[in-house]
């Protein structure tokens, strides 16, 4: 089965509203010229509505970087999936390593500081799963991120860690939902570090993810589901990564902040 490549930019905590709108307009022009590729950008919560409004008649889709599992109520700080739908989102990233408190590209000093505030970034597989179900219920689609820590990679535990995350993260979806979910494999040691996972290894782990989806939902869903690779994807390495059989797209951080770089990655997916 052929799967449509999906390139998504995770802007993380970058860009003002005006900068985001300007970048999104430039990316939308590229997306309009790439009908064989799905393209999305994921701005900060405060920029989502303005960015979505600016690109609403284009091929560019918009996503958010997280959400909560309830729809309304006394939940200070939280944003519900239906609010994101109202703001013009189609996608929501959940389980990003930076929300799970699993950091790659930060200095040891910063990681030590973050370790002093346990629970602050406390995403778990259970909360990822609850959020994904809430995302579907609001008519949106999740990009479910997973990936191993440097220590887990060095201990040879990548396959086990990633399969365990995915098994818990995707439990209890309907078949129709599971077909439409997107999974992003982001080895934590490759995020923001410039150390890209080599394409063969990335493909192997994406294959482990596809097999895990097959165990849970069967062959049809496993063949349909799109799996992105993320971690220091750039125009120069995108083509090789995207040519691998189990890699159906990319979740891009740093290189999604410059229109020309992101355009180069979209071009590589054509
Ligand atoms: P970089 O592309 O900056 O390594 O970030 C990857 C990422 O975390 C996307 O979600």
**What percent of the chain shows pLDDT beyond 90?**
88
pLDDT band at 1 (very low <50, low <70, confident <90, very high): low
Residues in contact with ligand 1 (CB, 6 Å cut-off)? 10, 96, 186, 191-192, 230-233, 251-255
What is the dihedral angle through the alpha carbons of 139, 177, 120, 16, rounded to the nearest 10 degrees? Answer: -50
Matching residue, tokens 């309009």 = 32
Q: How far is the CA of 94 from the centre of ligand 1 (A)?
A: 14
Domains recognised in the chain with CATH numbers: 6-269 (3.20.20.70)
What is the reported pLDDT for 265?
A: 98
Calpha distance 15→222 (Å, rounded): 36
For residue 181, report the phi and psi dihedrals to the nearest 5 degrees. -65, 155
Catalytic residue among 19, 70, 96, 240: 96
Residue nearest to atom 1 of ligand 1 (CA): 253
Between 270 and 193, the more confident residue is 270
pLDDT band at 119 (very low <50, low <70, confident <90, very high): low
Q: How far is the CA of 250 from the centre of ligand 1 (A)?
A: 9
Mutate to test the pocket of ligand 1, among 150, 191, 196, 256 (most ligand atoms within 8 A of CB): 191
Q: Which atom of ligand 1 is nearest to the CA of 234?
A: 2
User: pLDDT tens across 33-62, in order?
Assistant: 999 999 999 999 999 999 999 999 999 999
Residue from 69, 64, 86 nearest 8 by CA = 64
176 flagged as catalytic: no
Calpha distance 49→109 (Å, rounded): 35
What is the reported pLDDT for 2?
A: 87
The rounded mean pLDDT for the chain is 95
Q: Examine the pLDDT at 120 and tell me if it is beyond 70.
A: no
Residue from 29, 183, 229, 257 nearest 238 by CA = 229
Q: How far is the CA of 233 from the centre of ligand 1 (A)?
A: 7
Q: Is the dihedral of CA 155, 159, 163, 166 positive or negative?
A: positive
186 flagged as catalytic: yes
Q: How far is the CA of 193 from the centre of ligand 1 (A)?
A: 9
For residue 227, report the phi and psi dihedrals to the nearest 5 degrees. -120, 120
Q: How far is the CA of 9 from the centre of ligand 1 (A)?
A: 8
Q: Which atom of ligand 1 is nearest to the CA of 105?
A: 4
Q: Examine the pLDDT at 118 and tell me if it is beyond 70.
A: no
Whole-angstrom CA distances from 215 to 167, 207, 218, 219 are 9, 12, 6, 8
User: pLDDT tens across 222-248, in order?
Assistant: 999 999 999 999 999 999 999 999 999
pLDDT band at 112 (very low <50, low <70, confident <90, very high): confident
Residue nearest to atom 9 of ligand 1 (CA): 253
Burial 181-196 (b: 16+ CB within 10 A, else e): bbbbbbbbbbbbeeeb
């Amino acid at each position: 089965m052929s799967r449509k490549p999906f390139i998504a930019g995770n802007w993380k905590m970058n860009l003002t509203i005006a900068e985001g709108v300007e970048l999104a307009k430039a990316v939308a022009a590229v997306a309009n010229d790439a009908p064989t590729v799905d393209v999305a950008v994921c701005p900060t919560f405060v920029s989502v509505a303005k960015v979505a409004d600016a690109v609403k008649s284009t091929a560019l889709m918009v996503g958010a970087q997280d959400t909560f599992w309830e729809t309304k109520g006394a939940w200070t700080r939280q944003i519900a999936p239906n609010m994101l739908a109202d703001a013009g989102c189609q996608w929501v990233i959940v389980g990003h390593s930076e929300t799970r408190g699993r950091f790659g590209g930060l200095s040891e000093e910063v990681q030590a500081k973050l370790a002093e505030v346990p629970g602050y970034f406390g995403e778990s597989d259970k909360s990822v799963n609850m959020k994904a179900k809430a995302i579907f219920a609001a008519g949106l689609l999740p990009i479910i991120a997973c990936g191993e820590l440097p220590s887990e990679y060095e201990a040879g535990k990548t396959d086990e860690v990633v399969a365990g995350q995915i098994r818990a993260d995707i439990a209890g979806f309907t078949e129709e939902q599971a077909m439409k979910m997107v999974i992003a494999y982001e080895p934590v040691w490759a995020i923001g570090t410039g150390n890209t996972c080599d394409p063969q290894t990335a493909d192997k782990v994406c294959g482990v993810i596809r097999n895990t989806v097959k165990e849970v939902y069967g062959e049809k869903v496993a063949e349909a589901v799109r799996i992105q690779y993320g971690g220091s994807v750039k125009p120069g390495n995108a083509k090789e990564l995207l040519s691998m059989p189990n890699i159906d797209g990319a979740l891009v951080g740093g290189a999604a902040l410059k229109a020309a770089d992101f355009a180069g990655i979209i071009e590589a997916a054509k």
